[in-house]
Amino acid sequence: MVDTSSEPPLIRRLCVIGVGLIGGSLARALRRTAAVSEVVGCGRNQQTLEKALELGVIDCYHTSPVQAVAGADVVLLAVPLGAMRSVMEQIRSHLAVDAVVTDAGSAKACVLADARAAFGQVPRNLVLGHPIAGTERSGVEASFAELFEGRRVILTPLAETDRRACELITRMWSATGADVVEMGVTHHDEVLAATSHLPHVLAFSLVDTLAQMDDHAEIFRYAAGGFRDFTRIASSDPVMWRDICVANRAPLLKALDAFDADLRELAEAVRRGDGETIQTHFERAKTARDNLYRG
């Protein structure tokens, strides 16, 4: 990409390991604003990388992380959480001296633990991050430059994280139109367990429950519009979500247990035909949701 502005680009060479919805969309967004000069893709599936090349998302690719990170000033790890540690171990000795490493994982304590294991300690130029954006679709074909516009990106730097590295990653995400905020690792994982991981588990679980009923074909035939919206996230990538559930299991279980206790209370109210209790729950929920999306 030719940079026609007088300013040097924010990032000279970006290496995206895992060119899927998130990695692909970041590359597209940064290329659009000429915030990056060159994007090197990396992944295990050569077909995906060829596709990304065709789509103009990346400039070149390597299937080996070792080669892919060579000379990159920013490396984005956009692989499922279960693959983070192995990728870190592979790139450890091959990063450029000043390279800033970041990720897009949906949980952060686990990535921090992976970094400690892979690098011996958490590198000062590792800035963990999580773009709160995505769709139920996955893969580079689903990526688009506007994915992060108006969305939040949470960075979870440690006290010892290099501030200049942190600033670069903040500017990178800002260039996509995202609103960047900082948060503690533990807090991030609890908040996301409640608002993202738990709903995904419920959606997958509901569809799975219905799919196992005897007359499931008939049942699904009469699903209305609300069902489509409610279950949209059950079309998300099973491997990515499996990894999230395992990696963020403690906060997720806490949220699951709280939900299950409330659901059982509600089920008991249904069992005894206690309309008043049911209505109280429903009204509290409606008020909370209407407030959330008001205007």
Q: Which of residues 162-201 bind its own copies (CB under 8 A)?
A: 191-192, 194-196, 198-201
Q: Does 6 bind its own copies (CB under 8 A)?
A: no
Q: Does 60 bind its own copies (CB under 8 A)?
A: no
Stretch that binds its own copies, among 6-14, 95-103, 115-123, 214-222 (CB under 8 A): 214-222
CA atoms of 75 and 90, how far apart (whole Å): 13
Least separation, in Å, of the C-beta of 155 and its own copies?
A: 13
Helix (H, G, I), strand (E, B) or coil at 37: strand
Q: Which residues contact 257 (CB under 8 A, 6 or more apart)?
A: none
The residue among 117 and 263 lying less far from its own copies, judged by its C-beta, is 263
Listed in sequence order, the DSSP H helices in the chain are 21-32, 46-54, 65-68, 84-91, 109-119, 163-174, 185-192, 198-211, 216-221, 225-231, 238-247, 249-271, 275-292
Please work out, in degrees rounded to the nearest 5, the angle formed at the alpha carbon of residue 223 by the alpha carbons of 240 and 133.
30
Question: Which listed residue (12, 151, 174, 182) binds its own copies by CB under 8 A?
Answer: 151
Q: What x/- string results for residues 121 through 150 when contact with its own copies is judged by CB under 8 A? A: -----------xxxxx--------------
Cβ-contact 29, 148 below 8 angstroms: yes
Least separation, in Å, of the C-beta of 275 and its own copies?
A: 5
CA atoms of 111 and 247, how far apart (whole Å): 9
Cβ-contact 18, 77 below 8 angstroms: yes
Q: Does 226 bind its own copies (CB under 8 A)?
A: yes
Question: Which listed residue (82, 96, 112, 185) binds its own copies by CB under 8 A?
Answer: 82
Q: Does 159 bind its own copies (CB under 8 A)?
A: no
The residue among 98 and 262 lying less far from its own copies, judged by its C-beta, is 262
Q: What x/- string results for residues 246 through 275 when contact with its own copies is judged by CB under 8 A? A: x--x--xx-xxxxxx-xxx-xx--xx-x-x
Q: Count residues contacting its own copies (CB under 8 A)?
A: 90
Least separation, in Å, of the C-beta of 53 and its own copies?
A: 27
Q: Does 205 bind its own copies (CB under 8 A)?
A: yes
The residue among 39 and 192 lying less far from its own copies, judged by its C-beta, is 192
What is the H or E stretch that residue 19 is in?
Answer: none
Please work out, in degrees rounded to the nearest 5, the angle formed at the alpha carbon of residue 68 by the alpha carbons of 136 and 97.
115
Exposed, middle or buried: residue 55 (CB in 10 Å: 0-12, 13-18, 19+)? middle
Cβ-contact 281, 269 below 8 angstroms: yes
Question: Which listed residue (152, 162, 182, 185) binds its own copies by CB under 8 A?
Answer: 152
The residue among 160 and 276 lying less far from its own copies, judged by its C-beta, is 276
